Amino acid sequence: MVSHPYGRRTNKNVWQLIVPLLLIGIAVGLLVAAFAQPKQKVPDDWTQLNREVDSALQTQSEVREQEQAVVSEKATSEVPEANSSSIKPTETTLDTSAGKLDINRATAEQLDSLKGIGPAKAQAILADREQNGPFQSVDDLLRVKGIGSKLLAGIKDSIVAAP
């Protein structure tokens, strides 16, 4: 009990001291409880994002593999016309006896798959073929701008110029 300035003691003065002390005690107890609990690992947002990206890329690569399988099946089942007067690009541009790419029938995408041939050179090959007619031999690729003897030597084993 606290004494009153005039010598009287009141309970009101005691409660004014007990209430703040009680609130401080509760705050200390909550802080101790918060620090005493084991920390839970919070999932990292980047980890979840990486999982989603990996899943999307895997799905996309599976779709591409399926599309390539369908194209391969079509390529093996198609037979080029025997009476064709002009050479047209077809799905079947491989010389089956040697497994080489026929530069007279290959598409830009197929030419682009050759080592050292990019999209620009593939388009240049197609443009030259349209302008000057089919290539008589593999060495005729030297007339295409951007293809030199060194590049030709590098791809010569994987191409053929079929009539």
End-to-end, the C-alpha distance of the chain in Å comes to: 116
Beta bridge partners of 94: 101
Tell me what the pLDDT averaged over the chain comes to: 79
Rounded to an integer, the average pLDDT of 63-69 is 83
- Note the pLDDT tens digit of each residue in 20-34: 899 999 999 999 988
Is the domain covering 94-160 a CATH 1.10.150.280 domain? yes
Rounded to an integer, the average pLDDT of 39-64 is 79
- Report d(CA 7, CA 2) in Å as an integer: 10
pLDDT at 69: 81
- Report d(CA 54, CA 23) in Å as an integer: 51
DSSP 38: P
User: CA gyration radius for the chain?
Assistant: 40
Beta bridge partners of 10: 2
Q: In this structure, are residues 64 and 123 in contact, taking their beta carbons and an 8 Å threshold?
A: no
pLDDT at 76: 65
- Report d(CA 159, CA 157) in Å as an integer: 6
Would you list the domain boundaries of the chain?
2-31, 94-160
Using the Cα atoms of residue 114, residue 120, residue 126 and residue 132 in order, give the sign of their dihedral.
negative
Identity of the residue numbered 147? I
pLDDT at 30: 92
pLDDT at 98: 62
**Position 84 pLDDT exceeds 50:** no
Residue partners of 82: CB distance under 8 A and separation at least 6: none
pLDDT at 100: 86
Lookup: tokens for 7: 């010598």
Rounded to an integer, the average pLDDT of 2-6 is 57
Give the rounded distance of the alpha carbon of 9 from its chain centre: 81
- Note the pLDDT tens digit of each residue in 87-137: 444 444 554 446 788 999 999 999 989 888 999 999 999 999 999 999 999
Alpha helices in 37-136 (DSSP H): 45-77, 108-112, 119-132
